Amino acid sequence: MEEHPEPPENTPRNEDKKTPRILPHIKPRSQPQSAPVEITADNVEKHIHRKEQRGKLKLPNGDVYDITIPAPDEDDIEWAKESFTEDADWRLKQASMAIIDGNLWRLQFLLAVNQQQEGFLDINGFGDKDNDYTLLGHTTLEDDRTDFAALLLSYGADLEIGGSPRWNRTKTRKYTPVGGAVENDQLEILELLLNNGAQFYKEDFEAADHPATKAYLVARFEDLDDGTDVRNLNSPAKHNSKWALLDDFTIAKTSTLPGKMRLTKIFNFLSQEIEKVTEMLEADGDVKNVSHSPLQSFDDVAHKEEIKQAHAKLLEKGGTPEAIETYTRSSNTYSARGNRPSS
């Protein structure tokens, strides 16, 4: 069996003396030396961690990515037991469906078991919604799937595979994860892929249609129009973020991105909604164009860690969380004062 990278560590909410039941990929900080329990058909129900897990993923470029794995429901538990009785093709289809349906727990479960039992899941297999895309490519077909892409990358998903062999499109870059992110205007996933070493060619740029995506790519790859032969243009890029308190219940995160673009996410803990504002800037910094995305409920956000981060910034900058009794994240209710699960 091939060796796998060290799994990320979990950040528990309290220091229990008893080792919590865990999935193989999430290890508690309090027990860093303990070997993860091997999940099998006989013990899967006993050893599944039934509470939300917060952990850190180590990405291929060395960055650490904060992630929250939601708690499974009873249907998830029954599904997990069934996964051991089915074949690899069934599990690949289920992994694809988990991405499309937004079920991060199921994807993490399949990846975690595969880390222990090689062949349990083909991590680079072609998904079900569009069989020209691998599982990583499938994260570009739906909005708000950055956590899914980061999870797959942390387990070693290939950045370059694209084009289902059954259609003989293996040489068409349109179907690589980067190609999917460009074509489907998934800017956050695109940046995640590029920052972790995905190749980018002029051919990929041809699929760009959304102004923000095109502006980002033009700024990141200065050689797009230099007339050189086709070659990988990718190089690392970073962007900075700043937080600002807007009122007692609202905080904004503003990020300046390549391409003379500014993205602001406004977190309103009274209405429990996020608004995204994208600004295209002139060379002198003046705003040229502004676009507003539809309001998004906290419940519909897959990357719950960002809400937790925003709430911590609200507290830090003097917001008034006492006026908010609770806010809801992925069907679990949390105290606004301390982000602790309510009993």
In the predicted model, is pLDDT for residue 31 greater than 50?
Answer: no
pLDDT tens digits along 310-328: 888 888 888 775 544 444 3
Mean of the pLDDT values across residues 132-156? Answer: 94
* Beta bridge pairs of residue 240: 256
- The verdict on 252 and 167 lying in the same domain is no
Is residue 340 scored above 50 in pLDDT?
no
Mean pLDDT of 145-158: 95
Structural tokens at position 100? 């499309």
Are 164 and 215 in the same domain? yes
**Rounded to an integer, what distance in angstroms lies between the CA atom of residue 126 and that of residue 138?**
9
- Reported as a single tens digit per residue, the pLDDT across 165-195 is 444 344 567 788 999 999 999 999 999 999 9
Mean pLDDT of 329-342: 33
Q: How far apart are CA 218 and CA 192, in angstroms?
A: 17
CA 315 to CA 45: how far, in whole Å?
38
- State whether 112 and 211 are in the same domain: yes
Lowest mean pLDDT among 148-152, 164-168, 216-220: 164-168
Domain with 258, as residue range(s), is 240-335
Residue 31: burial class (beta carbons within 10 Å; 0-12, 13-18, 19+): middle
Structure tokens at 192: 């995640």
CATH of the domain at 221: 1.25.40.20
Does 180 map to a domain?
Answer: yes
Average pLDDT on 68-92 reads 94
Q: What is the pLDDT of residue 223?
A: 67
Q: In terms of domains, do 219 and 253 share one? A: no
The overall average pLDDT reported for the chain is 77
154 within domain boundaries: yes
Rounded Cα distance between 181 and 220, Å, is 15
- 13 and 70 assigned to the same domain: yes
247, 206: one domain: no
- CA 154 – CA 295 distance, rounded (Å): 30
Q: How many domains is the chain partitioned into structurally?
A: 2
According to the per-residue pLDDT averaged within each range, which of 223-227, 271-275, 326-330 is highest?
A: 271-275
Q: What is the pLDDT of residue 90?
A: 95
Of the residues 182, 202, 225, which one is the last residue of a structural domain?
225
58 lies in the same domain as 118: yes
Q: Which of 180, 181, 182, 160 is nearest to 171 (CA)?
A: 160
DSSP 8-state code for residue 174: G
Return d(Cα 158, Cα 187) in angstroms, integer: 19
User: What distance in Å separates the CA atoms of residue 205 and residue 225, rounded to the nearest whole number?
Assistant: 11
CB 85 within 8 A of CB 117: no
pLDDT at 216 over 80: yes
Q: What is the pTM of this model?
A: 0.63
- pLDDT, residue 189, reads 96
Q: What is the pLDDT of residue 286?
A: 79
Name the token pair of 123: 């991590």
